[in-house]
Structure formats: C-alpha cells, structure tokens
Amino acid sequence: MSILVTGCAGFIGAHLARRLLVEGETVAGLDDFNAYYDPALKEARVRWVQEAGELDLHRVALEDAAGLAAVFDAVRPSVVIHLAAQAGVRHSIEDPASYVRSNLVGFANLLECCRQHEVAHLVYASTSSVYGLSTQRPYREDQPADHPMSFYAATKRANEAMAHSYAHLYGLPCTGLRFFTVYGPWGRPDMALFKFTRAMLTGEPIQIYNEGRLRRDWTYIDDIVEGVVRVSRAAPSPDADWVSAPPALGSSSAPSRIFNIGADSPVELLRFIEVLEQSLGVAAVRELLPMQPGDVAATWADVSSLEASVGYRPQVAVEQGVPRFIEWYREYYGV
C-alpha cells in the first residue's frame, strides 16, 4: 500500500510520515516549502523524517493542478492523508487570498486527483475552529458548525462540505479530522508554545490574549499521530442508520465521517504558561492583551466518537508534553 502525506514538511505531517516509515509503510510526501514560516525548519523536518526510511518527496503546491496530477500518476496512492494547507487564524485576516489558493482551489484539485485514481481512503485535516461562535462545550461532531469566526475556519468547513460531496457523488471514502491545539517537538513557530519559549529565553515579554483567560484543549503530537494512523486504516462506510430528516451531523449515508481529535482536557492558558516556566526555569514577562479578532475563548474536544470508532485515547498531559518540546527546542537551536 502506498500512502501519500501532503504537508510532509509541516509539523504534523513530518511526525506522521516518520511514524509510517518506522512501521515499514511505503510513503510519498508532498510539500511546497512556502515561506509562511522559516523554510529551513521545514527542510530540517524532512531530513529528520528521512532518517527513518526512504521518503519519496515531491515539491509541489496544491494549487498547481498539473503538478499535483503528475504526483498522483507517479505515486498512485492507495491512501491520501492530506495535511497541507495555509494555516493560521490571524494570518487569514491579513491574507485571505492565500487561503483561497491552498485551502479551496488546492483541496478541489486534491479531491479530483483522488477520484481519478480511485483512492481507497482520503483522510484530511479540518480544525476545531469550525465550531466558531458556538459556546456548547465540549464540542461534539453532531452539533452545528456553521458560524466560523475566521476565514481560515470557513475554508476548513468548506473542505468538509467538498469532501462529503465527493463521497456522495463518487463513493470516495473521506474522513475529516478536526484538530484541536497541537503542540510538541518540531512545532510551528507561529503557535503559542514556540513563540512563548523563544521570547522567554531572550527576556522578551510574551503576549497573552484575553488576559490569559483562554482555555485550550492542548493535544500532544504523539497522541495526534496515533489517532491519524488509526483512522487512516479504517475507511468509512455509509451509515445505514443515518437519518435525513433532520439530517444527522457527523456521519452520512455517503462514506464520509468527521471526528474531533484532541485531548478532551482543556487547560487554561495561564496554567500552560506556569508549566512552561517550570520547564524552562525562567519566569515570563507577561503582556496582557484583549481577545484577538477571529479567536475563541475556549476549545474542548469530545472524542468519544473517535474512541468508539478506532480506540483513540490521548495519553500525554501538558506536564509531560511541554518539557519534551523544551528539550527539543534547546537541542535544535543550541540554547
């Protein structure tokens, strides 16, 4: 079986590709190595992945329809795990066009390639941000997610609808995973843990939004990868018990499913910072700021559906995960 991992130079994609190679899978990777953040970090991740085995690497952007089709012709994947995207809630306010190109046009190109090559299972990344204005927590897949607060979230919700249409029209098995706040070694520099660590080690203040009263379902990367691997090996079938009036959410009469994947254990941002301070041995200089546009006050994943489907249960608490990130950060940057 050949597995194509898009976004293989990204945070989650690199961890996933390495895990699959360690397990002896045939893995191809696709990434455009764009400059949204330091491409050198992406190159280093790929070298780390290649230590585990032979990665068939393709440097192609999703919006390049011809280039993407050529990758599918060469790889002929049985399973596609789609993690490539333009990420970031705040950046989507500044540059929405990049999200149209990657997350909408690029995803449409990917769906069409999967259809033409009769891919057995497409697993694609969505986000907890799709829950938007909803204050019903913990978030469940069977609750509405139609009021996104950022354009990034809107593109990911659109991906879910696009994938369902291909599942319904062409029988393409699709599973969407709504990721909650993922952290760990090789993380993204634009995310809180990375930014806080860098600032604290240089004596700069850390910017704390909503004056620290944010709560996040921080999910360690190893737990995420375990869930993705399990899902990739369990392609969905049409739900024989699906109800159409009113339509039940989260499952379908088409081979399409959506799951939350998170820690199911929200932690307040101020507590997260305390753990970081203890791990670094450095006190943070705190700059308290108001809530940012497009942000939500709290996230909390109900993962009972994913547990029932593939036995997923997160294992790593922030008290364990944050020190692991710090260990990696010190080694990588020689701090």
For the question of residue 152 being annotated catalytic, the response is yes
Q: How far is CA 306 from CA 168, 264, 299, in A?
A: 22, 11, 17
| CA nearest neighbour of 271 among 201, 216, 219 | 216
The residue behind tokens 């709290």 is 298
Residue 168 lies in a domain: yes
**pLDDT at residue 301 greater than cutoff 90:** yes
pLDDT tens column, 22-39: 999 999 999 999 999 999
Residue 247: what are its φ and ψ, rounded to 5°? -65, 125
**Residue span of the structural domain in which 58 resides:** 2-180+220-262+301-315
pLDDT tens column, 9-23: 999 999 999 999 999
- Cα distance between residue 280 and residue 150, in whole Å: 33
The residue behind tokens 């994913």 is 306
Residue 58: what are its φ and ψ, rounded to 5°? -130, 125
Question: Tokens at residue 43, please?
Answer: 């190159």
Q: How confident is the model at residue 90 (pLDDT cuts 50, 70, 90)?
A: confident
pLDDT above 70: percentage of residues in the chain: 100
The pLDDT value given to residue 60: 98
Q: Which residues have C-beta within 8 Å of that of residue 128, sequence separation ≥ 6?
A: 139, 178, 179, 180, 181, 217, 260, 262, 299, 301
Q: How confident is the model at residue 175 (pLDDT cuts 50, 70, 90)?
A: very high
**pLDDT at residue 96 greater than cutoff 90:** yes
Residue 215 lies in a domain: no
- Cα distance between residue 244 and residue 302, in whole Å: 23
The pLDDT value given to residue 64: 98
Question: Tokens at residue 224, please?
Answer: 């995420």
Residue 186 lies in a domain: no
**pLDDT at residue 180 greater than cutoff 90:** yes
Residue 119 lies in a domain: yes
Buried b (16+ CB within 10 A) or exposed e, 73-106: eebebebbbbbbbbbbbebbeeebebbeebbbbb
303-327: average pLDDT: 98
- Cα distance between residue 20 and residue 69, in whole Å: 23
52-74: average pLDDT: 98
pLDDT tens column, 185-207: 999 999 999 999 999 999 999 99
pLDDT tens column, 196-237: 999 999 999 999 988 788 999 999 999 999 999 999 999 999
pLDDT tens column, 278-298: 999 999 999 989 988 888 889
3-state secondary structure string, 268-317?
EHHHHHHHHHHHHCCCCEEEECCCCCCCCCECCECCHHHHHHHCCCCCCC
Question: Tokens at residue 145, please?
Answer: 């997610």
The total domain count for the chain is: 1
Residue 49 lies in a domain: yes
**Mean pLDDT over all residues of the chain?**
96
Residue 320 lies in a domain: no
Annotated catalytic residue, options 37, 99, 152, 209: 152
Residue 53 lies in a domain: yes
Q: How far is CA 149 from CA 136, 137, 313, in A?
A: 15, 16, 29
The pLDDT value given to residue 169: 98
The pLDDT value given to residue 85: 95
**pLDDT at residue 324 greater than cutoff 90:** yes
**Cis amide leading into 138 (omega within 30):** yes
Neighbours of 307 (CB within 10 A): 15
- Cα distance between residue 238 and residue 45, in whole Å: 37
Quote the pTM value. Answer: 0.97
CATH number, domain with residue 87: 3.40.50.720
Residue 330 lies in a domain: no
